[in-house]
């Protein structure tokens, strides 16, 4: 098992979040691929998008439904500063995850987290678990409680 997947499992245990990581054997790198592999709707896929504050450099994680795109103007108003998308090298260095496998938990550097309210409308959602083929299922409420994510309207 990869180090990053193990870190997600350990983080979940430390947060009291009961999950079972599933290795799909196929890529779940895109929301569409993940939905197909998980047997759910694209809307139930959690996209973990890493940004950094332009002024502060703070690491920011936006959890968004796979069916939605982030409205950057809304996101910047909610976060309180201009945002820049972190590049692949910075994502790996600061989170410990490769793009396509970024989990909402288990980051090397703890980000500030917001969750789009669209995700909270589902009974369960699926999130990346540290590798492009690893996922876990969770209730949105449990994810919010474990991560301390702030619910907001982030979708375009």
Confidence of residue 9 (pLDDT cuts 50, 70, 90): very high
Fold of 3-152: YbaK protein (3.90.960)
Mean pLDDT score of the chain, rounded to an integer?
Answer: 94
Q: How far is CA 55 from CA 28, 49, 58, 97, 115, in A?
A: 33, 18, 8, 24, 22
Where do the domains of the chain lie? 3-152
Q: Roughly what angle, to the nearest 10 degrees, separates helices 3-15 and 140-147? A: 90
Q: How many CB atoms lie within 10 A of CB 72?
A: 14
Q: What pLDDT does residue 30 have?
A: 80
Can you give the pTM of this predicted structure? 0.94
The predicted model gives 40-46 an average pLDDT of 95
Confidence of residue 1 (pLDDT cuts 50, 70, 90): low
**Backbone φ and ψ of 117, nearest 5°:** -60, -20
Q: What pLDDT does residue 48 have?
A: 95
| Residue found by looking up tokens 């910075």 in the block | 90
Q: What pLDDT does residue 100 have?
A: 86
Q: Which residues pair with 52 in a beta bridge?
A: 59, 84
């Amino acid at each position: 098992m990869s180090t990053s997947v193990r870190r997600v499992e350990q983080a979940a245990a430390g947060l009291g979040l009961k999950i079972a990581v599933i290795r799909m054997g196929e890529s779940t790198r895109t929301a569409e691929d993940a939905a197909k592999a998980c047997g759910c709707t694209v809307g139930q896929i959690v996209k973990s998008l890493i940004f950094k504050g332009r002024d502060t450099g703070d690491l920011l994680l936006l959890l968004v439904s796979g069916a939605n795109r982030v409205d950057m103007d809304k996101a910047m108003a909610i976060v309180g500063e201009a945002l820049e998308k972190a590049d692949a090298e910075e994502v790996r260095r600061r989170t410990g995850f490769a793009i396509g496998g970024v989990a909402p938990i288990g980051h090397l550097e703890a980000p500030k987290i917001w969750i789009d309210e669209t995700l909270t409308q589902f009974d369960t959602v699926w999130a990346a678990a540290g590798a492009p083929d690893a996922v876990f299922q969770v209730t949105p409420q449990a994810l919010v409680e474990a991560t301390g994510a702030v619910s907001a309207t982030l979708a375009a």
